[in-house]
Every structure is written in structure tokens, then in C-alpha cells.
Copies of this chain bind each other. A is one copy, B any other.
């Protein structure tokens, strides 16, 4: 099976730089893959796209060296099965608050006996290779989002679930759950402490840990702490930052 570069980067002690796709354009997906990101994550949760768009977006990413990932819209067995069958090499699952949530997520991602994923890998077979069934369980990356106070409280239980590779931190929902407005200063005492606690728990249990970064200051700080995956903003934020800078320069 085609190896998952994200696993390799762990042993190289290098963070995966991850792009975040929230529009439904396969061309944009391919452009991001060619920019040099290690992975491109299709955002089915907040992105402006649905399940029908996923196969073409993953094909576009597959035409580049970037690993194709998907954030599913929720912890749903059928949807996660479909995403994997379309060739995703990893799933980021939102709103994992308990061990039961994490077990349900793993159940959808792994073939028996580890999980209950149904067989029919379709595009996964094309992208992954003919030995897909044997190697999928160890190749595909499963990341649970910790983004509520409850999730933080249960983090050790969550991290102990067999078949779960690690955590992807959602700082905005986490802030809201703590009563802090989203998009603000992540280093705000309570939020910063909580984020660093999540990271510490993952690292102490030798689990994968990634994070969505609202700005580059956050990305740089997170790189320092040794995160495995950094997402420096999504497609829209990248586009808007460049567009508004140019408009300001020409209007100013």
C-alpha cells in the first residue's frame, strides 16, 4: 500500500504542514497540493461542500504529492466509511468528548476485528494499491478533535482507545466551550493553558497531535512545542489575507 507520509514525518520529527480546503473546487485542491503542503484536508464539517464533492477533490489531491485527508461532518459511521472508500488517508473527526465517542470513531475507520468498517474500498484501492485491505488499518490516520471542556476532561480516556492515532485541537470551539469568544488571542490564560495541557497529554502518551492555527504567530508557537501537524489557516483565510493586502496597497 502507498505509504502515508504523515507517519514518516513523525519519525523524522518534522511537523506535517497541512492545508485546509473549505471550497468545492478540485482545481483549488490541486493548487494547494502543489504548493508544498504535506497534506490537504477537505473540510466536510464547515466547508461549503458535501459528500458528492469528495471523490473529485481527493482525486485532485491524489494528482499531487500531498496526502489526502478529510474532516468529516460529524462522528457518523456511514459518512466516514464513504470518505475512506474515496481514498482519504486520514480522518479528522470533530467533537470527540468521551471514550465512547472515540470508540465509535475508530469503529468507523478500522476494518474488523479492530473496527467495523464495511469492505468496498473503491477509489481507496486505486490510490492505495491492491494490498489495501491488509494495510489500511495501519496506514490511515485517525485524529479525534478535542474542542470542548468535556473532551479535555476525558482526554486520557480518549487517548487510550486502541486504533486512535491522536488528537487534532480545535481552538475556536474549545474557546467557546470555555466561555471565550472564538478567533481571539489563543494565549489568553485559560485557553492557552488548556491547549498546552492537551498537547502535553498527547506527547506524554506518544500520540499524534495537530492543531488548526488562526494566525501565523500561533503556528510558529505550536511548531516550537513540537506538534505533529500544523494547519496555518484555511483556503479562504489565505485568499482573503492576500486579497485585502493588495486592495489596501492599491487603495491606500
Q: Is A122's beta carbon under 8 Å from chain B?
A: yes
Q: Is A177's beta carbon under 8 Å from chain B?
A: yes
Contact B53 A56 (CB under 8 A): no
Tally chain A residues at the interface, Cβ within 8 Å.
90
Complex CA distance for A86 and B85, rounded to whole angstroms: 24
- Out of B46, B74, B119, B126, name the residue touching A176 (CB < 8 Å): B119
Question: Copy number of this protein in the oligomer?
Answer: 6
- Out of B59, B235, B238, name the residue touching A59 (CB < 8 Å): B59
Interface residues of A in 235-252 (CB under 8 A from B): 235-236, 238-244, 246-247, 249-251
Contact flags (1/0) for A68-111 with B, using CB distance below 8 Å?
00000110111101100110000000110000000000000001
What are 22 A-B interface contacts by the 8 Å CB criterion?
A: A17-B251, A22-B122, A23-B28, A24-B52, A24-B55, A25-B28, A26-B59, A27-B123, A31-B239, A32-B239, A35-B240, A35-B244, A43-B120, A45-B81, A50-B52, A50-B82, A51-B52, A62-B63, A73-B82, A94-B118, A133-B181, A216-B246
